[in-house]
Every structure is written in C-alpha cells, then in structure tokens.
Amino acid sequence: MHKSLVRSAPGALPLHMVTAKGAKAFLATRAGLAAAGFAGRDGELMPVMAGAKVAAWVLGLGDGHDPFAAATFAEKLPDGVYRLGEVPRAFGGDTAMLAWLLGTYSFTRYKTAKNKAPRLVLPAGVDGEEISRIAQAVFLARDLVNTPANDLGPDDLAAAARKLAAAHGARIAVIKGAALKRGFPLIEAVGRGSSRPPCLIDLTWGKPKAPRVTLVGKGVCFDSGGLDLKPSAGMLTMKKDMGGAATVLAIAAMVMGAKLKLRLRVLIPAVENSVSGDAFRPGDVFKSRKGLTVEIGNTDAEGRLILADALALADEEAPELLLDIATLTGAARVATGMELPPFFTDDEALAADLLRLAMAAHDPVWRLPLWRGYDFSLGSRVADLNNNPAYGYAGAITAALFLKRFVAAAKSWAHLDIPAWNDRIRPGRPVGGEANSARAIYALLKEHYGAR
C-alpha cells in the first residue's frame, strides 16, 4: 500500500469537502469559518478551529465538477495524519483515495524533493492495495514522459520495460539491428537517422491459453520531425512523444499487479526521429511488415509508420482485443483538446463499454468516427499508401484509417490518440506527463476478464 495511506490512526484530523451550495448549511455550526469568509469556492482550503487548535480542515468544491478535488489536501496540507470527514458521496471512497494519491505525485529526478508527507487513514471498504497499484502505475507513466530525451532513448525505454517485466515475471524480448531491419522495415526506417538505434519491445505475460489482449504503444522518444523539421516551439514538449508507450506500460503494471485472467502482450516500437545523413526522406518508399508499400509524404508523420509494423505483428496472432495508444496527431488536440482524448473503433460494444467505464473512472475519452469516406486521402501514385493524407481536414480520422489498414485478424481493435500531457494545473494533475486512458482501459479489462 502507498506510504501516504495508513490503516488507522487515533486522533486523525477530519477532512471535510463542501460545495458552494452546501457551504451555508456547513457553516451553520462552524462560526469560526463563517467569520473567516469561507464560501465553498473551488479549491478554497481552510482550517476549522477549536480555540487555538486546528480541529479539522475543509475544502471548497465550487460547483463540484472536479472528482479529484481531494488531491488538494495531499498537495497543500502540512505533515500530519488525516481522515475523511463530511464528504459528498461522489467525492468519497475510492475516488477520494485515488485523488489523495494523485496529489502526492511530484517529478523529482532532477531537483531536491520536498520532505512534506501527510498521511490519510484508509476508509472502510476501500481496497488500498488496488488504489495504490493504480496510482503507482500512473506515476510510472508520468515519470517516463517527464524524463527528457537525453536520459530516455529507445534503450532506456526498453530498460524500463525490462524492469517492469522482471517485477511481474513477464517475458520480454527486444528486437534490434539486422532482425529489426528484416522484420520491421518501417520502424527501422524511422529510427535509423538517430545515433541511438531503434528497437521493438515485446513483453508477454499470463497463461498462453487465456484470452489474448495486445497493447501497442507509440515509443518515439523524441520527435524532431525528421527532415520535415518541426519549428522550435513544436519541439518543446516532444519528449512526450513516447506517451503511448508509457501508457501501455502503466496499463500492463495494473493488469499484472491485479493478475487479471488474460494473456497480455505489449508491443512498443521505440525510436528517435532525428535528422542525419541516414534519415529517411520525403518521397522514399518502404515495404511494411504487412507487405503494403508506403510512400513517405512527410517525415513528421512517423508515428503511424512505426505503429503500422507493430500492429501488423500483433494482428498475426489474431488477439481477442487489440488496442493501440499514441500521441499521434495535433488534429486530435484541435478536435477535443488536451483533456478528452479521442478513440476510434468499428466495434460498437467495445465503444459503449469504453465510454461508460472511462466516465466511471474519471478518465474520459470521446469517440470519433472511423469515417471510410476519407480513405481516398491515403492513396499514392507510386505506392499502396502515403503517410501524409492528401486532405486538409480530419487529420485524426485519416491517421486512424491508416492504422486500420494494418489490422485485419484481430477480433476487436481500437485506436486512442492521447496527449499524454497536462497543460494546466488541476488537483492531482500537475503540468507534465499524464497516462491518459490508462485507468479507463484497465477498468475495461478488469470488467471483461476479472482477477484470477
């Protein structure tokens, strides 16, 4: 269980939460707070005094739109031991515990960590081990995304996957060099321009005869845009271009930790998209693992290329469920912003389940159409496909359609286009790396496959 949670603690100070609408009733018996001007405003945190001593703390929820408001307690309270007090039902229980844990996160690899360590008593009926596993998996993804590219190249990403595999008894293989060039030509083409060689990470866990679930995560450890170079402003957060890889590792940590009844496979094509004399060029044509030829219309549309080879490998064993997660398009951010990642699938049941469970987990996603009317844009005069669609709109959809060309045998497939980044501060969600959709997908897998 996470170190900030305790089973019991006599004398723990209660933590109350109240909406602006409920503030008047709450204040009726707390004259000291009324005198201090507490109004239940969003993020308003004040002590409840008993004479000269703090007897409790109260947090304003405003309109009550943020389920993780309780993270504010972990972020701002002084050292001490606390317990939940008067809390609206929707903000208590598992939600409050996860919010508290998310509020303890900080990325401290390059700076001195603060020693503040408030603790919270675990409420009855809450599975502290499960909540802790979920939070620690999210922290793993955040740490990976937040690590700058000079310390996180393809080999470093493979090392992180090896560490996770060792912790759970999973098998792992890392394909590099000549074997990568023979079997995964698109991955090799994208990554060959870097002094840090590309690789394909292949992790498997679970009983061979269990239902097969495969996760594919985009692992572009830094994206310069290649010869179609990004402007400098566009590169500032490109250490996060391996956010899909970080997210599938987080999901794997949750799944393996909970021992779900499935056979899990995680595939991560790990590359750095760099500029050099050996970098792939606009106009080049490559034959993919699936056999489809791809003309390079733009070297900055590299993510779909490496995913194509990994998806083709995943599809060869016809998994029951195949999911790919990638920081793929700016068009997805334009369509739904940084807090509501879109997903694409032809499976109506999967779409309904994912939407329902994502909302329940407060890890929202939004379905966009896999509109076949835009298939024409993937054409090329010299190859089967072009990675730069000849259409000025619907970039997230055309990217999904490109990936769909490499999936045929999987019983069910979905593609998630995530930002892997928080661009503003919210309780429990500091600016920086984020594991968008990890908790939603874990909830999906847990519902479908349960624990052993």
Q: From the CB of residue 421, how many other CB atoms can be counted at a distance below 10 Å?
A: 20
Tokens of 274: 């760099």
Asked if the model's pLDDT at residue 310 lies above 70, the reply is yes
Q: Is 398 within 8 Å of 297 (Cβ atoms)?
A: no
Asked if the model's pLDDT at residue 114 lies above 80, the reply is no
Asked if the model's pLDDT at residue 89 lies above 90, the reply is yes
Stretch 208-220: mean pLDDT: 98
What digits encode the pLDDT tens for the residues 37-72?
999 999 999 999 998 999 999 999 999 999 999 999
* pLDDT given at position 452: 59
Going by CATH, does the domain composed of 5-104 fall within 3.40.220.10?
A: yes
CATH class for domain 132-449?
Answer: alpha beta
* pLDDT given at position 333: 98
Q: Is 312 within 8 Å of 304 (Cβ atoms)?
A: no
Residue ranges of the chain that CATH labels 3.40.220.10: 5-104
Q: Is 417 within 8 Å of 328 (Cβ atoms)?
A: yes
Q: What is the DSSP string of 328-391?
A: --HHHHHHH-SSS-EEEES-HHHHHHHHHHHHHTT---EE----GGGGGGG--SSSSEESS-S-
What digits encode the pLDDT tens for the residues 117-157?
899 999 999 999 999 999 999 999 999 999 999 999 999 99
- Residue positions annotated with a catalytic role: 230, 304
* pLDDT given at position 116: 77
Stretch 331-349: mean pLDDT: 98
Residue ranges of the chain that CATH labels 3.40.630.10: 132-449
